[in-house]
Amino acid sequence: MAEIIPRVFKGPGIASGVDKTAVVNRRDRHTGGMSLFDADAYDPDDMMVHPRHQAMQPVLAQLIQQLRDCETVEAGVEFQRDLLNRVLEVEKDRAGFKRAAKRMRSGKGPHPEAPEPQSGRDLKDVATWRFEQEVCDRLARQLRSVGDALAWRVFGFHRPFILALCRNDSPGLMYGKAGLRAELDHVERAFKEDGAFALLHDLTNCLRIGDITVWDGVHPPRTEEIKTNPNNTKSAQLRRIDQARTAVLEGGPLPGGSASELLYDLDLPLRTHLNVLRDALQRAATEGIYATPVPGSRALFVIDQYACTEQGMSSKQFNEHLQHAVDGALQRAGIAAGRENYNIHVTSLDSTARDPLRVPWANYPLHPVTCARLIGDYAVATVETSGPVLARLLQASGLDARWVRPPGNADLQQGEVIMEIHQQERLRSVPLPGGLTMTPGWTLQMRRSELDRYLMELLQPGSWVAGIKNVLSARQAGRPWPHFRNEHEIWV
């Protein structure tokens, strides 16, 4: 199955005696570098109390509600304009803070047009300006996560389009981009002349191939590369666009260097336990910390920073409460034993608009304010499982599953196989010299993205197991990227 490295906490997890600032300060698993929470530069809580960061919360909630209210092409166009203005405003300030920091490192003062820092830190310290830049980086990602939600919606929550169009490096910032004006003109012309909706890919994190996708209401979505000078269009870019389209509509290989990577339609309905996540978030919004087992050998932990603050929890009280809640959930989920060696976590913490394969929080069936809290890390959800226990769950369903990841709490590596699921062809055997007999079979190797999805999207075990059996029975060589039907009934 497809591979993406999950974000896991160092050590045995968030309930291992570390305080809540240490939970926030972690190394980013996707990029391999430090996250925005760099303890050498500032306390992690500084980000959460920054006026710009706090002011973004109601903006995100309003944008999410505005997106959900869109019923016409005109409303979608207007929403995209509003989101674009927000992103460009944040990225303009980011560029200003970056320029000021660069000038200060060379012994100069900030330029006269530099935006005003709002952190209350020393204006003569270059770290202040770097911090403000990092705040803007984070806010731009948060806004792009709403752009991801727009992309999922206009594609009708049909995951194959996302799987096909995400297979490029992130394009970077929009502010100052040379070709942005040409893209905007194309978007406006599509609406005014044809009544079509054209989505700007740079407003998203999940769409990385092509510049825009156009819906005319008649034909399948059309992805285009827009250049100020048409003669500069690279044939490689056009090939990737064509590969993505062929993969979705005709079953061809996904963009990239491997012809064995194909979309796989499970022809099964998706079933989830997202109601457990919703209830846990509601409980945490009142109690501060809430943990619960989830069917399928999982435990869910939710922290709501607003509620923790309202209750006046000290660091000691926070850690004691968290430890007690997590220990209880792990015990009830049956995954407490061997935690340091075999358990794996995925988390919402500082993950928004980083992994293009994750469903954006704004599409989860949650209140817009709750979605905004998850996007901004004022609410953090973590899901944990035990590898061997998960393998036994699959074995109980008749699958020959083995957890193959070595014991230990080291980070998952790119392409690392964590589980193998084998199926023999019992009705056919092949005689070998020496009186031996070989029974052919198929082995499905599970990598990160499948486990990440099972945990973070809280798939029902029966739905997940049925999908695995479906892939095995098809005996499709290579690396299948499976997707369920009816996702439009799950996401908002």
Using CA atoms, how far apart are residues 93 and 143, in angstroms rounded to an integer?
A: 14
3-state DSSP assignment of residue 380? strand
Q: What is the pLDDT of residue 416?
A: 83
Report pLDDT for 12: 25
- Sort residue 243 into left (φ over 0), alpha (ψ -120 to 50) or beta: alpha
Question: Does the predicted model carry a pTM greater than 0.85?
Answer: yes
Cα(97)–Cα(126) distance, integer angstroms = 10
Q: What is the DSSP string of 225-285?
A: ---SSGGG--HHHHHHHHHHHHHHHH--PPSSS-TTEEEEEEEEE--B-HHHHHHHHHHHH
Handedness of CA 83, 87, 90, 96 (dihedral sign): negative
Q: Strand 261-269 vs strand 479-485: parallel, antiparallel, or unpaired?
A: parallel
For residue 196, tell me if it sits in a domain.
Answer: no
- Does 37 reside within a domain? no
Is 444 inside any structural domain? yes
Measured at the CA of 439, the angle between CA 438 and CA 445, to 5 degrees, comes to 115
| Domain count along the chain | 1
Residue type, 178: A
Residue 394 is assigned to a structural domain of this protein: yes
Has residue 145 been placed in a domain?
no
What residue numbers bound the domain in which 325 lies?
274-489
pLDDT at residue number 21: 33
Cα–Cα distance measured from residue 373 to residue 340, given in angstroms and rounded to the nearest whole number: 29
Angle at 75 between CA 188 and CA 362, to 5 degrees: 110
- In degrees, to the nearest 5, what angle opens at C-alpha 359 toward C-alphas 248 and 87? 100
Token readout for 293 is: 């087992």
Cα(399)–Cα(233) distance, integer angstroms: 49
Predicted local confidence at residue 428, as pLDDT = 55
DSSP 404-463: -SPSS-PPPPTT---EEEEEE-TT--EEEGGGEEE--EEEEEE-HHHHHHHHHTTB-HHH
Are 452 and 6 contacting, i.e. CB atoms less than 8 angstroms apart?
A: yes
**If we measure between CA atoms, which residue out of 348, 331, 351, 347 comes closest to residue 339?**
331
Closest CA to 268 of 423, 464, 448, 399: 464
Residue 245 burial by Cβ neighbours in a 10 Å radius (0-12, 13-18, 19+): buried
Rounded to the nearest 5 percent, the helix, strand and coil shares of the chain are 45, 15, 35
186 torsion bin: left (phi>0), alpha (psi -120 to 50), beta (else):
alpha
Classify residue 121 by its DSSP letter: -
pLDDT per residue as tens, the chain (492 positions): 433 222 222 222 333 222 333 333 333 332 223 333 344 456 778 999 999 999 999 999 999 999 999 999 999 999 999 999 999 999 999 999 999 999 999 999 999 999 999 999 999 999 999 999 999 999 999 999 999 999 999 999 999 999 999 999 988 899 999 899 999 999 999 999 999 999 999 999 999 999 999 999 899 999 999 987 767 767 888 999 999 999 999 999 999 878 889 999 999 999 999 999 999 999 999 999 999 999 999 999 999 999 999 999 999 999 999 999 999 999 999 999 999 999 999 999 999 999 999 999 999 999 999 999 999 999 999 999 999 999 999 999 999 999 999 998 777 776 788 999 987 655 555 566 666 655 557 789 998 888 999 999 999 999 999 999 999 988 877 889 999 999 999 999
Tokens linked to 463: 């739905």
Please report whether residue 355 resides in a domain: yes
pLDDT of residue 16: 28
pLDDT of residue 440: 54
pLDDT of residue 447: 87
Tokens for 452, please give them. 């990440």
